[in-house]
Amino acid sequence: MPINGLTPSGVDHGDYESFMTAENLYGEQWLLAYEANVKGWLPSAGTADHVKDEECFNFLKTNGVCFYDDTLSPRIEPQLPPEPGEEEEY
């Protein structure tokens, strides 16, 4: 599933989903763990909302704090793979 038009269809986001935990809010991947939750890009690992369950980060979330403006990023247009026998243009 593409993330809000920022990644192409078919990309495996499993590696990124593993960062969606409360522990990762306090590590090197804190921005991903926070922002992907707030924007609804990736689900929390497990059943609970990991951002809501952490007091400091929940404060940011409930006050609408975001660090990434996805309206400033170019959108990725879906592209069909070339037909068999067709060469790709570079």
The CA distances from residue 72 to 1, 6, 32, 49, 60, in Å, are 21, 11, 17, 27, 21
pLDDT digits (tens, 9 = 90+) for 56-89: 999 999 999 999 887 776 666 666 677 777 665 5
Q: Do the beta carbons of residue 51 and residue 61 sit within 8 Å?
A: yes
pLDDT digits (tens, 9 = 90+) for 19-48: 999 999 999 999 999 999 999 888 899 879
pTM value surpassing 0.85: no
